[in-house]
A and B are shown apart, each in its own frame.
Chain A
Amino acid sequence: MNGVEFRQVSFRHARHTPILDGFTLAVDAGEVVALVGASGAGKTTALKLVNRLLVPDAGDVRVQGKDTSEWDPIRLRRAIGYVIQDVGLFPHLTVADNIAVVPRLEGWEESRVGARVRELLELIGLGADAYATRWPDELSGGQRQRVGVARALAADPPVLLMDEPFGALDPVTRRQLRGEFRRIQSTLRKTVLLVTHDMAEAIALADRIGVLDAGRLIWIGPVRGIADCQDPRVRTLIDAVTVDVHSGADGGAR
């Protein structure tokens, strides 16, 4: 019941060609599903349909078994952690205050907020004493991305949406963060839908992979099955990773 489900979802901006077209996908509770595709394939749109930043033109999106149009949008969004591409940390708040935003919106007591912030900072490997009072622009890109993850997890939402979470980082930091994500996920067991253009990232993080092309889901299956797929559109994405592996830039498959 904690899952996310798309049923025959279509979405388009005004009269343009559809961004998503008859899109169907079920993410089970506690499962990590990665949507992979070239830019413009409709990945980010799919995420925004889940927390109702966008509303589908046809079909429905269900979160925890309930259609998003039936959710109060504010309650829905607070039940979903969102880690964005460009992080979106609030520059006028310290690291601790950034992480504390949703718990405070939810009216937690300050002592509980403080304890939660410390717990999360330890979880993402940033010492609470050293980092709680830092400003976002004093952090490295990797540190900012970790704080972004901590902020999304703060109020313990059952569902996590991640948009190219580690895309803008250098290869070493990226590999490190992927490892930490697996470690955290193995204890938290969130329902995670993440989107990326990087097949290596999908293979490193996900239980199942879906491939999006021009608004349609053209392949879905467990990570280990993707290597055998012969569809040329999927092969292009996989070959990009292989080149990466040979050049030694990234670890690729687990």
Chain B
Amino acid sequence: MTSVLGFWLAHRQELAALVGEHIVLVAVSTTMAVALGVPLGVFAARRPGLASPLVAIASIVQTIPSLAMFGFLLPVPLIGGVGARAALTVLVLYALLPIVRSTIVGITGIDRAIREAGVAMGMTPGELLRQVELPLALPSIVAGVRVAAVVGVGSATIAAAIGAGGLGQYIYRGLSMVDSTVILAGAIPAALLALIVDGGLRWLERQLSPRRRTRSRRAALTVAAALALVALAGSAALAARASGVIVVGSKNFTEQLVLGELVAQTIERDTGLSVRRRLNLGGTLICDRALLAGDIDLYVEYTGTALTATFHQPPSQNREVVMETVRRLYADSGRTLLPPLGFDNTFAILVRGADAREKHLRTIDDAARLAPQWQAGFGYEFLERADGYPGLAKAYGLAFRRPPQVMDLTLSYRALASGQVDLIAGDATAGLIKSLDLVQLEDNRHYFPPYDAVPVARASTLLRYPQVRKALERLAGRVSPAEMRAMNYAADALRESPADVARRFLDEQRGR
């Protein structure tokens, strides 16, 4: 707990910004869901044939996992893509069900005699709705809004996967660093936020119960409306800031966050353009789609990943051939490959440092001899991809005691260090290699294709802002494998923020 407090203290500005983003996401999506859901509920309540199918559809939407929903929305124009807009779409869809349902329940639950009294007194349908049905259904509607908002606080953490920001960023960062302190740094404020939202709306619910004096009901409604307005204004401000800036993306692991900051700060320093960061996007596919759609202007990719994962080409071991193939394929889709940064984040076959020293292990061939007594642990991706385990086993004649254990890539480092497995395939630049005393075995048969880190940008952005290209060309070859590993170590093991790590690196570069 003290380490979480220390983390918050060290990152208090970032924390405040993330909490703000989180609140805006939840407030705006809930407000929009109310604006959409209450009329829908009123409409359905008057047509009993419509109410149950509508609730059924909303329930089905509710069951779609949020990550899958983000996936569906990636190619959709206007409401999809990456960033806050797509996150809002998903959050609104999730918030609709409880609000629509509670509106229907609230209105259909009104005593028939009371409704009939209103009609018999000569109320028009509109007067009946405003003066009788909505006031009586209000506590039920607010209860639905409360459920929607509390669920929204939770769902909004997942929105970090598509670069919408919020407290989910810490949770994702912590997961990729296997660091529970960072996870807690995001999860605790999110939980507190949920409790505060719950408490606040409970208070509103009580204020709105029919027994309260009209004046306090009015005051409570005014407070709620004012909050909604502030949220909408905040989101408008956020949206307005998005135009006329360079948007930098990154995937959701430590090295990518550092590289995203490195690229973003380079552009800020050298061009004076303002940069918007959409870091922490949930994977290669999401970054690629976002770049194609123009939701981001550039991010740092690895040549081997682009070749096999993005363009579905067979793997190749020749560095120049890979680079040129990828450059051509990107050019065909309006994107430009910039000069490589200078390090190759290939797969690293890793063993414990103690084993390596004791058994004199240097190459993968050395390990292949001991493999029959070993247990290997690989990430799902490594087991599946064309340049992964099947080819590796063939190239080196690897045969383990049992089939390799499938585990999360980031967890596999700790599994190796603690002796649960004896060999893993990690990233060559992972900071954990140093902090956990792991040793990378040499790929002496040159099985792995090159994974040179290269910024890739939208051609149209570079045409409009040639100074961005110039700035990034100055980074060419400036990041060595050792420097990258050191930066990852600082971010992962020492818990420095990626922004600070990148800033110090650039300061030192300029100082040289």
Contact = CB atoms under 8 A, between A and B. Distances in A.
Interface of A: 51, 53, 73-78, 80, 82, 84-92, 97, 101-102, 105, 135, 151
A77 B122 contact: yes
Interface stretch (B128-136, B219-227, B327-335): B128-136
- B-side interface size class: 20 to 34
Interface stretch (B41-49, B68-76, B113-121, B246-254): B113-121
A53 B122 CA distance: 10
B121 A82 contact: yes
B127 interface: yes
28 contacts: A53-B119, A74-B123, A74-B124, A77-B119, A77-B121, A77-B122, A82-B117, A82-B120, A82-B121, A84-B113, A84-B116, A84-B117, A84-B120, A87-B113, A87-B117, A88-B116, A90-B117, A90-B118, A90-B136, A91-B114, A91-B210, A92-B210, A97-B214, A102-B121, A102-B122, A105-B121, A105-B122, A151-B121
B92 to A, nearest CB: 29
Nearest to A157: B122
A177 B134 CA distance: 34
Contacts of B214: 97
B295 to A, nearest CB: 47
B121 A78 contact: yes
B464 interface: no
B120 A105 contact: no
B510 to A, nearest CB: 68
B113 to A, nearest CB: 4
Nearest to A77: B122
Nearest to B212: A92
Contacts of B136: 90-92
A89 B118 CA distance: 9
A80 B211 CA distance: 29
A207 B169 CA distance: 80
B466 to A, nearest CB: 66
Q: Residue among A76, A87, A91, A151 with the most chain B CB within 10 A? A: A91
Given A91-B210, A92-B136, A92-B210, A77 B114 contact: no
A135 B131 CA distance: 16
Contacts of A78: 121-122
Interface string B96-132: 0000000000000001011011111111100100011
Given A84-B113, A88-B117, 12 more contacts: A77-B122, A88-B111, A88-B113, A88-B116, A89-B114, A91-B136, A92-B136, A102-B122, A105-B122, A105-B127, A135-B211, A151-B121
A89 B124 CA distance: 18
A74 B132 CA distance: 16
Given A101-B131, A105-B127, A135-B211, A90 B114 contact: yes
Contacts of B113: 84-88
Contact of A77 (B120, B132, B135): B120
A53 B118 CA distance: 11
A117 B111 CA distance: 25
Q: Residue among A82, A88, A97 with the most chain B CB within 10 A? A: A88
A91 B133 CA distance: 11
Contacts of A89: 114, 117
Contacts of B127: 105
Interchain residue pairs A-B with the least CB separation, the first 10: A88-B117, A77-B122, A92-B210, A78-B122, A82-B120, A88-B113, A86-B113, A92-B135, A74-B122, A88-B114
A90 B211 CA distance: 11
Contact of A101 (B111, B116, B121, B135): B121
Contact of A90 (B119, B120, B132): B132
A70 B136 CA distance: 33
A73 B128 CA distance: 14
Contacts of A77: 119-122
A90 to B, nearest CB: 6
Contacts of A51: 120
Q: Residue among B117, B120, B124 with the most chain A CB within 10 A? A: B120
B132 to A, nearest CB: 6
Contacts of A97: 214
Interface in B119-160: 119-124, 127, 131-132, 135-136
Contacts of B135: 92
Q: Residue among B118, B121, B214 with the most chain A CB within 10 A? A: B121
Nearest to B136: A92
A135 B124 CA distance: 25
A254 B323 CA distance: 109
B123 to A, nearest CB: 7
A138 to B, nearest CB: 10
Interface string B375-414: 0000000000000000000000000000000000000000
Nearest to B208: A92
